[in-house]
Amino acid sequence: MSEAKKRTKTLISKQEILQDFRLAIESREASLIGRKEVFMGKAKFGIFGDGKEVPQIAMAKYFQNGDWRSGYYRDQTFMMAVGQLNTQQFFAQLYAHTDVEADPASAGRMMNGHFATRYLNEKGEWLTQTDKKNSSADISPTAGQMPRLLGLAYASKLYRENEELSELEDFSIKGNEVAFGTIGNASTSEGHFWETMNAAGVLQVPMVMSVWDDGYGISVPQKYHTIKESISDALSGFQRTKEKPGFEIFKVKAWDYIALLETYKKAIDISRKKHIPCLVHVVEVTQPQGHSTSGSHERYKSKDRLSWEKEHDCILKMREWIQTEKFATKEELDQIEKEAKQAAKHAKDIAWKAYSHDIKKEVEEAVSLIEKAGISSARKADVSNITKELGKELNPEKSHIVRAAKKSLRFLKNEQSTEKQNLINFLSEKSNLYEEQYSSKLYSESSESALLTDTTPAQYSEESELVDGREVLNACFDYHLANDPRIFAFGEDVGKIGDVNQGFAGLQEKYGDLKVTDTGIRETTIIGQGIGAAIRGLRPIAEIQYLDYLLYALQTLSDDLATLQYRTYGGQKAPLIIRTRGHRLEGVWHSGSPMGMILHSLRGMYILTPRNMTQAAGFYNTLLTSDDPALVIESLNGYRLKERVPDNLTEFKLALGEPDVLRAGSDATIVTYGSTCRVVMEAANQLASEGIEVEVIDAQTLIPFDRTKTIVQSLEKTNRLIVVDEDVEGGASAFIMQQILERDNGYFHLDSKPVTITGKDHRAAYGSDGDYFSKPNVEEIFEKVYNLISEANPDKYLKIY
């Protein structure tokens, strides 16, 4: 470990030094004003980067076009220093301004301090990344930025080492980009941090990780967070040596301007040129306002600590240094401070005026329309009270407008007038506008959206070969790896042995270990590796070995990937495909079907559940030409079942949200998916021997679900619904029922109570009997369908027992 102590000549001009000081003051003032704005009720919550201004300015000096940031919510000064945030935008986000011009990071969707640059145009198409400084979109969960950071750095490794990618000049300059990570000292206790640091060391990627160490995690001191009370000491075993690769580790004080410049220059040069990851442990950081607006740090810091923090404030120390080195006089610095503070206040005023102007205008319009609608009403007094309350709102919000309009219309429900209709029209217009502002862009809306792909049916002939299902997948992946240099696959056992079920067998040998790659057992960073690479224009297929192991990565999938397009208002995307396998097999941890959990957690991604490997190949063909993230869950017990290879294997595609009718019938509709399709089909054949003809429908994709309304069309003729699901009671079956009965009005066609046949609430016990008694089986399906039909016609279908 090297600690920057020596004073060396750093090439930096007086003008630049004073500009840095001015920026530090303006950013600090923004933090101070921001806290007051929250306490005044003009914003809901505030979290700020005060105390970190000088180290972030130093780091920013070596952040080049094409570089990437994956940081946390205290990096405002850094973002300002690299020109990707101004103080007015900082306040616009604090106020949750829904204008994307005002808050380019999120259009008011992310809490303040959550930064992002827009690398997509308004059509959702890629912009050039190498001519600008880039920031991936922040998330609040502590250390949640770490997995994605690994992928951003890993992309540089691929761009440098894979010559096939050299033509993608909009995304990389020969892999010279560095991924900058930032985190607070307390958050280094999270598993995401350790897993990412280990993976970065193994992969040797250009990543510079800065830890802002202020000695606390909210109220909890360092001794409870980190062994040896120092993350750089704790990670000393990661230090590279002449014999073994690893990290380069630096330690520097947050208030030492020159040492910070020297440290960051050295760290970033090493990382950029040699692709060596670096840790910069920035110590003696202060936090003048405490953690956030939710409390005061005076409650848990001693008087001595608070006094020390005042003395070691990085801006104060920088000012002292400037005066000592005679770069400016006290009076000159006073003037800079005055001007910087005025600039921050002016930016706040402009941001607030821009934010509040449109809302106040809409409030005035609402008041006028409500008053006109109520002027001749018998409930005039009640309506008038609503407008008075709305007009009194000191800081009105859009929800106040909607509430007032809806409450007024309740009073006017028995009356008809042109004025009332004008109010209804206004409410409809605003509701549509607010729907766009708050609920749009969860999925891709670009011309590459997966929803725009129609089915191209698989074609067969007498020459179509009968093979193991895994061989169909293998041929599919072989084609895509050969024809698109952006595509690569990685995960546990994916490389040398071609994954545990042989989907990539022989493909590493054919295409090399940059295209088909083994990883360690680290599900969270496998996903992060894919997210970051997808952000940078590549097309990764990340494998999670079994569906049960998805839980390790669920937080990253849910909080980061699934929300990415939404939380950036369509400014960022990561078309990552996650490949896994599950459903029927043996044992508690290899038979999972936690589909309800997945459906509830991963809105913003598509969830595909192919029943066999040919259907899976059709979905991969669709996804690899679209720009949505998706989870493909293959049937674990289907790899060695025989399937015919389509003659158009590499061209056929499956539309998302288009169920497949596997068997026509008139007595009942059974909806299922995945491995259970085979079980249901066997039960259907046995029911047919009793004269009961069921229609079997494979949903195929759960998100999106039945966009063609195929299931409701089936219910129109059968009038009975059974959902067969391997998940627990109320798992995916509850979602499926809601979609069919409520969304699509399927309840209207039912003559009998709908039935669900699900797995047990426990995991599947080991062995074939464990599978049989834990999951839906042929006899159970037969019995429940038979009993349903028997209820309607007991004379024909006698009780069996």
> Rounded distance, CA 519 to CA 506, Å?
17
pLDDT in tens, 372-410: 999 989 999 999 999 999 999 889 999 999 999 999 999
> Rounded distance, CA 143 to CA 510, Å?
37
Axis-axis angle for helices 330-374, 418-439 (nearest 10): 140
Residue 52 phi, psi (nearest 5): -115, 10
What local confidence, expressed as pLDDT, does residue 583 receive? Answer: 81
pLDDT in tens, 345-355: 999 999 999 99
> Rounded distance, CA 239 to CA 235, Å?
7
What local confidence, expressed as pLDDT, does residue 4 receive? Answer: 41
Average of per-residue pLDDT values in the chain: 95
Residue at 146: amino acid letter: M
Q: Does the pLDDT of residue 26 top 80, yes or no? A: yes
**One-character DSSP codes across 563-620:** THHHHTTTS-----EEEEEESSSSSTTSS---HHHHHHH-BTBEEE--SSHHHHHHHH
Q: How confident is the model at residue 9 (pLDDT cuts 50, 70, 90)?
A: low
**Which range (125-129, 274-278, 555-559, 590-594) has the least confidence?**
590-594
For residue 382, give every residue at least 6 positions away whose Cβ sits within 8 Å of its Cβ, in sequence order, or none. 374, 411
Q: In 124-247, where does DSSP find H-type helix?
A: 146-161, 191-203, 231-234
Residues pairing with 491 in the sheet: 518, 543
Q: What is the mean pLDDT of residues 624-653?
A: 96
What local confidence, expressed as pLDDT, does residue 291 receive? Answer: 85
Which tokens sit at 333? Answer: 């610095």
User: Contact 619/702 with Cβ under 8 angstroms?
Assistant: no
Comparing CA positions, the residue from 499, 569, 578 lying closest to residue 539 is: 578
> Rounded distance, CA 386 to CA 350, Å?
30
What local confidence, expressed as pLDDT, does residue 241 receive? Answer: 96
> Rounded distance, CA 213 to CA 452, Å?
48
For residue 590, give every residue at least 6 positions away whose Cβ sits within 8 Å of its Cβ, in sequence order, or none. 546, 548, 636
pLDDT in tens, 241-294: 999 999 999 999 999 999 999 999 999 999 999 999 999 999 999 999 988 887
Q: Does the pLDDT of residue 751 top 90, yes or no? A: yes
pLDDT in tens, 190-223: 999 999 999 999 999 999 999 999 999 999 989 9
User: Contact 173/64 with Cβ under 8 angstroms?
Assistant: no
What local confidence, expressed as pLDDT, does residue 290 receive? Answer: 83
pLDDT in tens, 489-540: 999 999 999 999 999 999 999 999 999 999 999 999 999 999 999 999 999 9
pLDDT in tens, 225-244: 999 999 999 999 999 999 99
Q: What is the mean pLDDT of residues 694-721?
A: 98
For residue 693, give every residue at least 6 positions away whose Cβ sits within 8 Å of its Cβ, in sequence order, or none. 664, 665, 666, 667, 687
pLDDT in tens, 30-69: 999 999 999 999 999 999 999 999 999 999 999 999 999 9
User: Contact 592/568 with Cβ under 8 angstroms?
Assistant: no
Q: What is the mean pLDDT of residues 357-362?
A: 93
- 455: which DSSP letter? P
What local confidence, expressed as pLDDT, does residue 394 receive? Answer: 87
Q: What is the mean pLDDT of residues 681-695?
A: 98
Q: Does the pLDDT of residue 728 top 80, yes or no? A: yes
What local confidence, expressed as pLDDT, does residue 10 receive? Answer: 62
Residue 293 phi, psi (nearest 5): -75, 0
> Rounded distance, CA 653 to CA 619, Å?
6
Which tokens sit at 687? Answer: 């029911």
- 783 exposure class (CB count in 10 Å sphere: 0-12, 13-18, 19+): middle
Comparing CA positions, the residue from 236, 77, 188 lying closest to residue 250 is: 236
Q: How confident is the model at residue 296 (pLDDT cuts 50, 70, 90)?
A: confident
For residue 462, give every residue at least 6 positions away whose Cβ sits within 8 Å of its Cβ, in sequence order, or none. none
Q: What is the mean pLDDT of residues 321-332?
A: 96
**Cβ neighbours around 307 below 10 Å, total:** 11
What local confidence, expressed as pLDDT, does residue 292 receive? Answer: 82
Task: State the Cα angle at 293 between 283 and 212, rounded to 5°.
Answer: 15
For residue 490, give every residue at least 6 positions away whose Cβ sits within 8 Å of its Cβ, in sequence order, or none. 516, 517, 518, 519, 526, 529, 530, 540, 541, 542, 543
Q: Does the pLDDT of residue 7 top 50, yes or no? A: no
